[in-house]
A and B are shown apart, each in its own frame.
Chain A
Amino acid sequence: MLSLIIENRFAITAAILFVTGFVNMMLHPNLIKKIVSFNIMDSAAFLMLASRGMIAGRIAAILTDGGADVSRYVNPIPAGLVLTGIVVSVSVSAFSLALVQRIYGTYGTVDMRELLEAMKKRGE
């Protein structure tokens, strides 16, 4: 049992982080914290991906001293995917933060419940 946990430590951490992010994003009323939770959720996915690509004792797939022996290197695809994923997640975060800023400018709050009340008060 213990060896199983140690073997899958990255996957387990990723699962815990993902669920934490997911639940917070769904239930937390604060919009900024929702965005933070979204980033935790995405980081969990990247951790999972990066850990799957790692092979102990091998080096990153960058040719330096002319050694083209495949067995020296780790799988580079997950790293590429993580990079793509980070770009996506940064742009989505930037978009959401800009949107929250506009909402704060209009209603003066970043709390979802207060926001709905403020809308009701304004008759919208």
Chain B
Amino acid sequence: MPFAWNLPYLSVFLTMTAAILLSVLPGARRAWLLTAGVSACVAVMSLCFLVFIVRSDASYAFTMGKFPAPFGNEIRFGPLQGLFASVFAAVMCLSLLGGRTELFEDVDEKKMGLACVMFNMVLASLLILTYTNDAFTAYVFIEISTIAACALVMIRDSGPTLVATIRYLFMSLLGSGLFLFSVILLYAVTGHLLMPQLAESVAALMAGGQYTKVLALVLAMMTAGLGVKSAMFPFHRWLPDAHGSATTTSSAVLSGLVVKGYAVLLITMFCRVFTLETVRAFHIHDAVFALGFCGMILGSVMALRETHAKRMLAYSSVAQLGYVFMGIGLGTPAGIAAACFQILAHAFTKPLLFVSVGRLASAAHHDKQLRALRGSAWSCPLAGFGFGIGALSMVGIPLFGGFAAKVNFSSSAIFGDEKVALTLFVLALSSVLNALYYIPALINIWSDRNPGAKRVEADPYAAAAIVVLACGVLFLGVRFTPVMELIVRGLELM
């Protein structure tokens, strides 16, 4: 076995070891440095692994603890998993850099170590949700991710964040409860928890026409459970409070990454365990499409009515996650590939927007109301440019990642055989709605210089984060064909 195949396991091991170390290691700056270093290291490791796995054009099941299937635990990785892991780790590192100033302002210095434990646990659970080949392990890491993500909201210690956390926590627990019960039902009818064995049993049951109602129930509960956790409409009401009230880094990580972990797991379950034919047979994809459709429109409508910049971005996340579910709901490999691309594009764009707003708000005495941000871009032009690139990408202007995502959705719908008109309609409508709130916000921050604006001290960390994230958005917008080819190949090797 080549050494590179150990890298995914090692990257998870590294993040979890760092988390354990941080719970005893003193020093706020050291904790932050270690966390950012670990996520950068994981990003580099995942990237090396990605290059290796793309060259060998294969996927591989890594047996944990030398217990062979069906007894042991496995992680499984191919090009798609490598791609997700690299992007997730890189964006995690950039969010930590970009929100550094606010993080040190918002978090009590004594508690910084514990906050960094949570960032590491979030990254570890994201990696496991991407890599895992075992349904029960997925459940355990869903719960770990829930606790860590809730803690990330409440590290900014104030009344509203506590209430936002508890609402987020209870919604999340409903979702994980549904997922747990669905896994147990699946275990009851198949007797397996490892995904390849599950897939065989599910195929046998479908072919024999046995337990089809139970399987339909399992699929529905699993989709709903993961949907609640990734803010699928109508389970999105916890998101604006949680993402809007948290500190910059937390908002960027939660909006850009955490909700995606569950969507990736849903895609894995659909493709690896149930196969798209089963999903289509039970019309689960139609329900997912309908909810994605509503999320895209209503998320934007609610963002349109919002006056608080971060809550506006949070509602926009609901709309953007609607795109992901719409892609999954197309029920074709092309649709799923487009959804994967959207996950990547949004993972770069939303943290870019949150980091930029964080910097802009420091010119407006940390007031994040849109009217307070008027003219703030002149105090911090780089953040203004970052916000501009993020906003234009969200609207879907060519050259940016969001445009490429929309092209992929349209082409996958046009070359599919159903829902063509609906998809194109909702894409058009959503683009208009996005433009209606992002363009005024962009004009607002670049309008006349605000005389009351505070001078913003240069923040090299945030500047670096904004530049790299913006480059990511531009790269996805220009070179989207090779990325799509990689995703399609990754889905085939799932």
Q: Interface-forming stretch among B14-22, B158-166, B317-325, B389-397?
A: B158-166
**In the assembled complex, which residues on chain B have CB atoms less than 8 Å from the CB atom of A41?**
177
Cβ contact of A45, chosen from B147, B170, B184, cutoff 8 A:
B184
CB neighbours of B147 from chain A (8 A): 91-92, 95
Residues of chain A from 28 to 51 with CB closer than 8 A to chain B in the complex: 31, 34, 38, 41-42, 44-45, 48-49
Residue of B nearest to A18 (CB): B181
| Residue-wise interface mask of B (173-184) relative to A, using a CB-CB cutoff of 8 A (1 in contact, 0 not) | 110011011001
CB pair B159–A96 under 8 Å, yes or no, is: no
Closest Cβ neighbor of B177 among chain A residues: A41
Q: Are A45 and B169 in contact (CB under 8 A)?
A: no
Residue from the list B163, B165, B187 in contact with A52, Cβ < 8 A: B187
- Is A26 an interface residue, CB under 8 A from the partner? yes
Residues A96 and B169 in contact, CB atoms below 8 Å apart = yes
In chain A, positions 10-37 with a C-beta closer than 8 Å to chain B are: 11, 18, 21-22, 25-26, 31, 34
Residue of A nearest to B182 (CB): A45
Partner of B170, one of A25, A77, A85, A107: A25
Whether the pair B163, A48 counts as a contact (CB closer than 8 A) is: no
Distance in Å: Cβ of A3 to nearest Cβ of chain B: 19
Q: Give the complex CA separation of A95 and B174 in angstroms.
A: 15
Asked whether, in the complex, the Cβ of A26 is within 8 Å of the Cβ of B188, the reply is: no
Q: Which of A51-89 contact B (CB under 8 A)?
A: 52, 77-78, 81, 84-85, 88
Which residues 128-157 of B sit at the A interface, judged by CB distance below 8 A? 136, 139-140, 143, 146-147, 150-151, 154
Beta-carbon contact of A95 and B159 below 8 Å: no
Could you tell me if B180 and A45 are in contact, using CB atoms closer than 8 angstroms?
A: yes
Tell me, rounded to whole Å, the shortest Cβ–Cβ distance linking A19 to chain B: 10
- Closest chain A CB from B67 CB (angstroms): 12
CB distance from B185 to the nearest CB of A (A): 8
A49 and B187 contacting across the interface, CB-CB below 8 Å? yes
Q: Binding site of A, secondary structure by majority: helix, strand, loop or mixed?
A: helix
CA distance A49 to B187 in the complex (A): 8
A98 CA / B137 CA spacing, docked (Å): 26
Q: In whole angstroms, how far apart are the Cα atoms of A106 and B180 in the complex?
A: 33
Chain B nearest CB from A54 CB (Å) reads: 12
A96 and B187 form a contact (CB under 8 A): no
User: Which of A34, A78, A115 touches B163 (beta carbons < 8 Å)?
Assistant: A115
Asked if A119 and B163 sit within 8 Å, CB to CB, the answer is yes
For B150, B160, B163, B165, the residue with the greatest tally of chain A CB atoms inside 10 Å of its CB is B163
Task: Using CB atoms, name the residue of chain B closest to A94.
Answer: B147
Q: Write the nearest CB–CB distance from B125 to chain A, whole angstroms.
A: 12
Mask, B362-393, CB within 8 Å of A = 1, is 00000000000000000000000000000000
Q: Quick one: closest A residue to B137, CB to CB? A: A84
Chain B residues with CB below 8 A from A100, complex form: 166
- A88 and B184 contact, CB distance less than 8 A: no
Q: How far is the CB of A38 from chain B (nearest CB, A)?
A: 5
With beta carbons under 8 angstroms apart, the residue of A38, A77, A102 that contacts B177 is: A38
Chain A residue contacts of B140, Cβ below 8 A: 84, 88
CB distance from B22 to the nearest CB of A (A): 18
- B162 neighbours in A (Cβ, 8 Å): 99, 102-103, 106
Please list 26 pairs of residues, one from A and one from B, whose beta carbons are closer than 8 Å in the complex, sorted by A's number: A11-B188, A22-B174, A22-B178, A25-B177, A31-B166, A42-B180, A44-B181, A45-B181, A45-B184, A48-B185, A49-B184, A77-B193, A84-B136, A85-B139, A92-B147, A95-B147, A96-B166, A96-B170, A99-B162, A99-B165, A102-B162, A103-B162, A103-B163, A107-B163, A116-B163, A119-B159
Chain A contacts to B: CB under 8 angstroms: 11, 18, 21-22, 25-26, 31, 34, 38, 41-42, 44-45, 48-49, 52, 77-78, 81, 84-85, 88, 91-92, 95-96, 99-100, 102-103, 106-107, 115-116, 119, 122, 124
Residues of B within 8 A of A (CB): 136, 139-140, 143, 146-147, 150-151, 154, 159-160, 162-163, 165-166, 169-170, 173-174, 177-178, 180-181, 184-185, 187-188, 193
Minimum-distance CB pairs A-B, first 4: A124-B160, A88-B143, A52-B188, A41-B177
